Amino acid sequence: MAQAERDAGVRAGPTSDDHQRIKALERENRELRQANEILRKASAYFAQAELDRRFKS
């Protein structure tokens, strides 16, 4: 009942659409953080490989 009132604009608070949008944004945020972590690790790996290559030459 309360959620229906929020959806209808009668009661203040997040609507069902707001909840769906928040969940989608949280999911996207989580995925972007994971991708960022992978890229950070890859960058560190390749930077170390480049240093190793320079010292061996």
What's the DSSP call for residue 9? T
pLDDT greater than 80 at residue 28: yes
| pLDDT for position 45 | 96
Q: Which residue has the tokens 């290559």?
A: 53
Range of the domain at 23: 11-56
The C-alpha angle 8, 13, 17, rounded to 5 degrees, equals 60
Q: Which residue has the tokens 């203040």?
A: 12
In a domain, 2, yes or no: no
What predicted TM-score, i.e. pTM, was given to this entire model? Answer: 0.73
Any idea of the CA torsion for 39, 40, 46, 52, to the nearest 10 degrees? -170
The C-alpha angle 33, 35, 38, rounded to 5 degrees, equals 110
In a domain, 33, yes or no: yes
In a domain, 31, yes or no: yes
Structural domain count of the chain = 1
In a domain, 40, yes or no: yes
| pLDDT band of 51, cuts 50, 70, 90 | confident
In a domain, 4, yes or no: no
- Given a contact cutoff of 8 angstroms between Cβ atoms, the answer to whether 54 and 47 are in contact is no
